[in-house]
Every structure is written in structure tokens, then in C-alpha cells.
Structure 1
């Protein structure tokens, strides 16, 4: 079987505490056709000293950027792989992820994008928020317009797509700080619904400095604004708004805000 090449993009800035695990999780995949790029926005902690030790195994670009989305787009534009994804510098792949993804795309040439399950972990890598994970797994069993209309139930670090689609859809919206992924899923969905793999592919980390951990209220506001760009359906908008309100309230209880 002729596996496709896969490009992994990691936007990086001051995540020295986690970056080694992220990089190792990619390189230890031992995928035969890996193109790995890290875009660092001039980190001021120990990130760059760590990354220097991996320079022979990946492409490292260190320069000023205008934020995470800008860095991701730089990586996507320079990617050489047939399949692309981005993995943030505090998340990590689980063993066998790239082999599973590459095999699926090789066996299903008409598939444009796929997404899998992901663990939610804390700073130490301990699994947390299992009810939220199971809830999103349940949602992904519903029709795509339902679960993407209701909420962003797609796991960003567990999502891969064919690089060729950028010729049609362009790149991520750099005006978005929190929900550039949700915006991208809705654009991808307009062409083809995703294939959903049941297996966990990645670990998504929540910690005190992560945007998802500390700025979730602003994230929900931007999330709703993104939805309204793609649908004028009153029922969908109302359901999404009510769902955001409910989840926001639950997060406030969980995080004791």
C-alpha cells in the first residue's frame, strides 16, 4: 500500500514545559513519509533551546508572527505533504496515529478529511473531563449538520485533510483568535462531511495558560459569530446559542470561576 505523505504543523510560542513531548510524539510515530514543520514566534522561554536539538529531524522557522493562526497558515503554505494537520505545542499524538490516518486516506482516495477522538489531559498528562469527551463522541454520531450546527464537536488535533483542498478554500481566517478551527470545519463541510474515526488519535491539553482553559467565555462568543457566517437558520442559531450558554455555565462550575 502506497501511504500518502503527511505534513504536521506545530505553531509554537513559550511552551517550553510541553514542547518536547509534542515533538517526540510526532517523531516517534516513525511514519515513513513525514514532513514536520514548527513555526516559532520568537519564544522567550526555553522552547528554542529544546527545539534546536531536533533541527535535523524537522523544519524549524523562527520569526515574528501576528498570532497562532498566522503561524499555522505559514506552515500550511510551506507544507509538502498530501495530507496536512496542525498540532499545537502543548498537545501530542498518541502512538500509531499517523499510520492509522495515512492508511485510511490511502484506502479511501475520495476522502477529503477525517477526524478522530482525543483525550483531554491536564498539565501532567492526567486524563480529565471524561464526560465532555464522551459527550462530544456521542454528538459525532449524529448527522454532521446537526453536531456542527449545535457546537464544534470536532477534535482539532485529531483532524486531517488533503492539502489540495486549500486551492479551493484558501487558508485559515487570521482574524479569528479562538475558533479558526471551527470556521475551517464549516468550510470543509460545505464540500464533504468528515469521516469520523472512533479511535483516540491525540491528547488535547488544558492548563492555566491555554486559551481554552482561561478564556472560554470569549471563545464561545467568537464561536457563535463564526456560525452566523454560514447559516441564517433561526433554529440552528438559537440551538447553538442555548448550547453555548449551557456549556459556558458548566465550565464556570468546573473551573470555579
Structure 2
């Protein structure tokens, strides 16, 4: 029997993309789907768009303290066996949830699963293919060889058992950029992820996204995050060197 899946979408002023996000979830036609959208009282047309889907999802519209707080609200409400979050400018590829559900049905001892994702621009055009292939290569290694070096996990393509929250709590709301990396490292302390080479989602980078406009600050918080999990000076030094190299690459490809 396929497990139930809860998808959480934190939403705030992404009216240009939110319809594609919601449609990508609902069009999965997954038989045991719970979809929760947590909007922080958007001031654009996001809420008007979301209102047209109210019979097909649970909409929470209230002030929050940021993206991580919104995700946690949804995770605390979720009832699915498997949970994930999908940001309001990203989207699922066709058949993604079926592949996820079948993995957990066939591997009942698996705690979490991570797959591949396309990187796209605001028009949905594929970009940064070398970055995608590099992280794809890292995920073929054991996490011990890359987890302290960089966040090679595709956030929108990662799913875990809701029961993990009973042991680990929820996302760290003090983190603005790397709440996902911190969460992967906490999950990793329990079990390495199952890794799928399947393309499950599209991760969008655009002018107003954090990944597109604030990558320098993101790397600063990234280093602070890895330092909490890896006190080793050697690991921290490698991580810092890697971040510096990646920043230079990002500056060249932007």
C-alpha cells in the first residue's frame, strides 16, 4: 500500500509562480495526498490565486516570522506518513509523488529519500547544468565524503518519514537560508538517505529568490551551520575553501 504524503508549501508574494507550483502538486493524482499551503499574508495576488484552490488544499493565511516558521507550521499540521516542503516558486515534475510513494512502500525501513532536480530560471528554462551534475556526482558518494563539504541535497526532491520529527524536532527557525542543510545533517545522524537518480522537481532561481539574489549571505550562514555539526577544523577549512570556490563560480555564471 502506498504511504500517505503531506506536501507543505510556504508562500509569500510569489504570485508569478504559485499557480504552477500548486498545479504541479495537484496534478500528481497521488491517491493519498495532503497539501498544506501556509501563506504569510501576501500583498500581491498570491492569496487570490490560492483561493481558487481552497477545495483542493488546506490554506493557512496568517502572519509568520519567515519561511522556516511557515514550513514548521505546515509540518506540525501534517498527517501524512511521508512529508516534504515545496517552495512557492518550485514545482514537481510529472509522476514525482508516485515514485516517492513506491520507494517508501518497497523500502519500509528507509527514513528519507533524496532525488534529482532541474535548476530553472523564471521562465522554466534549464540553467546551471554543471552545478546540477556536480551535486549529482557527489550524491553517488557516501554522505561521509560530502556532507561536511557542501549541501549536495536537492531540497524540493527530498522526502522523509514524519516520525523523524518525534526524534529530531522541527526546522531551526533561527536559520533563514540553510534550514534545509541543517535538517539533512540532523537526519543523517539517524540514517543515510536513500538516493534516487530520478528527476523529481524543478528548483527555480530568479531575480527575487534568495538563491538568486543573496547567495553571499547564504554561504555565510552555511558555514555557521556546518560548523555546529562538524567541529573538526579540517572539515571546516575544506568547507570554507569549497564555499569560496563556489562563490567565484556563481559570480561567473550569473
TM-score category of the 2 structures, normalised to the smaller one: over 0.9
Match of 2:236 in 1: 237
Match of 2:196 in 1: 197
Match of 2:178 in 1: 179
- What stretches of structure 1 of length at least 5 have no aligned partner? none
| Stretch deviating more after TM superposition (167-176 or 145-154) | 145-154
Distance, in Å, in 1 between the alignment partners of 2:244 and 2:230 is: 19
Q: Deviation per CA, 1:147-173, whole angstroms, max 9, x where unpaired?
A: 111100000000000000100000000
Match of 1:60 in 2: 59
Match of 1:128 in 2: 127
Distance, in Å, in 2 between the alignment partners of 1:242 and 1:78 is: 40
1:23 aligns with 2:22: yes
Q: CA deviation at 1:225?
A: 0.4
Distance, in Å, in 2 between the alignment partners of 1:154 and 1:146 is: 13
- What stretches of structure 2 of length at least 5 have no aligned partner? none
Match of 1:47 in 2: 46
Distance, in Å, in 1 between the alignment partners of 2:108 and 2:70 is: 29
1:59-208 superposed matches below 5 A: 59-208=58-207
Q: CA deviation at 1:146?
A: 1.6
Distance, in Å, in 1 between the alignment partners of 2:179 and 2:3 is: 26
Distance, in Å, in 1 between the alignment partners of 2:10 and 2:193 is: 24
Match of 1:253 in 2: 252
* TM-score using structure 1 length: 0.98
Q: CA RMSD in A?
A: 0.5
Q: Alignment partner of 2:147: what SS?
A: helix
Distance, in Å, in 1 between the alignment partners of 2:28 and 2:37 is: 16
Aligned length: 254
